[in-house]
Amino acid sequence: MLRVMTWSVAGLTLLPGAALAGSIFYAPPPPGEDAPAFSGEAELGYTHLSGNTDSQTLIGKSRLSWLSGNWTHTLRGEVRNVTRDDETSAEQYLLSLRERYDLHERHYLFGFGRWEKDRFSGYDQQLTAIGGYGRHVLDGERHRLSLEAGPGFRHDHVRDDEDEQLGLLYSALDYQWTFSDTSHLRQELSMEATDENTTTRSVSSLTARLNSRLALRLSHEAKHNSRPPETATTHTDHTTSVTLLYTW
């Protein structure tokens, strides 16, 4: 089981093993009337330990969103690399493009494509495309609950084995409790089920806003593959992070 807990300070980020997936729930909240047409966030973390142990950790994440009528477009990129005594123990990359079209009131349609590469997952790379329907069940000042589901397709490039093309069913839940003017708790869950395996992701987070641009976040992420390739090192990855976020 992979457990990462490293402190790093670089640029605008304080990261003990930042969760690579960022937000696993791919439905951003509906934009408000005064929402900016273009927004984003960026994180960068780096550590270098030398002496009895020689290790380096590099973590970078970015997200860009822009609005066009009823459409919301979101582009994400993420990378993580960990080496210890010149041996790589983690190497992950992710790139995703998400499209969302708001329908009447709390209803919307969505679609996204995602490319992932995890050196120790047993896959050389994975390509996923999913589309479907979402609804905001709760949309109050303190409590917000969103659900979405739909079909999809995944292409798995399995290391040292034949590629696999799999149909899948996707479902996700996103709950947020805003308990003060500056802080909120959030629980995100998603599941992608195929005939071969089921991938579940969970992120629990506590976020406290420091000012209009900066926020401090404590989170724990778990990603589980019910049946990974034989070359995978584990079924479940855990990542705990404390992150200073910069948004614009």
pLDDT exceeds 80 at position 173? yes
Mean pLDDT, rounded, of the chain: 81
Confidence of residue 120 (pLDDT cuts 50, 70, 90): confident
N residues, the chain: 248
**What is the pLDDT, as a whole number, of residue 187?**
94
With CA atoms as reference, report the closest residue to 133 among 166, 113, 106.
Answer: 106
Rounded to an integer, what distance in angstroms lies between the CA atom of residue 183 and that of residue 208? 4
**What is the pLDDT, as a whole number, of residue 10?**
36
**What is the pLDDT, as a whole number, of residue 162?**
83
- Find all residues with CB under 8 Å of 18, minimum gap 6, and list them: 43, 45, 59, 61, 80, 239, 241, 243
Quick check: helix, strand or coil at residue 109? strand
In the DSSP assignment, the letter for residue 30 is P
**pTM of the full predicted structure?**
0.80
The answer to whether 206 and 216 are in contact (CB under 8 A) is no
Give 134-167 pLDDT, tens digit per residue. 998 998 889 999 999 999 999 998 877 788 899 9
First to last CA, the chain: 36
**What is the pLDDT, as a whole number, of residue 11?**
34
Rounded to an integer, what distance in angstroms lies between the CA atom of residue 167 and that of residue 248? 37
